[in-house]
A and B are shown apart, each in its own frame.
Chain A
Amino acid sequence: DSGVTQTPKHLITATGQRVTLRCSPRSGDLSVYWYQQSLDQGLQFLIQYYNGEERAKGNILERFSAQQFPDLHSELNLSSLELGDSALYFCASSPRLAGSGELFFGEGSRLTVL
């Protein structure tokens, strides 16, 4: 158990809809990362927050957004969903912005868009 909690574990929705994925980082971790894992694209970095502020953006679509709240949990919002958004979405956390570098991953939220 990494200590990172993601909800929901599974989500099935329809095209055009909007969903929110939630992540609680390990206790004391200030940095949260979101990744998307799909068969064709592999593991893609989406966005990172550190202590409530956005720090880095990867391959995140404009239809997607995220935020980190004062209690350090984070939410990833996916809107106008398309079939191709079906994937496993991971949250990871780390204690500091850089540090020794390893990230601690949650179990993921599997999104299926029908």
Chain B
Amino acid sequence: AQSVAQPEDQVNVAEGNPLTVKCTYSVSGNPYLFWYVQYPNRGLQFLLKYITGDNLVKGSYGFEAEFNKSQTSFHLKKPSALVSDSALYFCAVRDGSNSGYALNFGKGTSLLVTP
């Protein structure tokens, strides 16, 4: 099955600094990769996706992600973090192996942006 891994449980960054949330993937074939964000007591919100094309994908709220095939990574980035970016971030990969195309999620990374 297709899978992703998020090696960090928590990332701390000061407001105004750049942030990176890491994700690596393990897939057969071409990956469909996603980032979602979850605010406390809320559902998951789609941020961005990579299917094909440019390795740098731009998404919502100023976030972007860099697809790196040689390193099998899809790291989420933002040039200047905001306190309001503090949330739980999930990387996901579409699993076409079971004919349903569900998304398989990583364990999530908690991002804390301090003033």
- CB within 8 Å of B: which residues of A? 2, 4, 33, 35, 42-43, 45, 48, 50, 55-58, 90, 92, 97-98, 100-108
Contacts and interface: CB of A to CB of B under 8 A. Distances in A.
A2 B101 contact: no
B102 interface: yes
Interface stretch (B16-24, B43-51, B74-82): B43-51
Given A42-B108, A43-B90, A101-B49, A106 B43 contact: yes
A100 B51 contact: yes
Contacts, number: 67
Interface residues of B, number: 26
Contacts of B36: 105
A89 B42 CA distance: 12
Contacts of A104: 46
7 contacts: A42-B108, A45-B103, A58-B98, A58-B102, A92-B44, A102-B34, A104-B46
B102 A33 contact: yes
Contact of A101 (B43, B98, B101): B101
Interface string B75-115: 00000000000000010001110111111111110000000
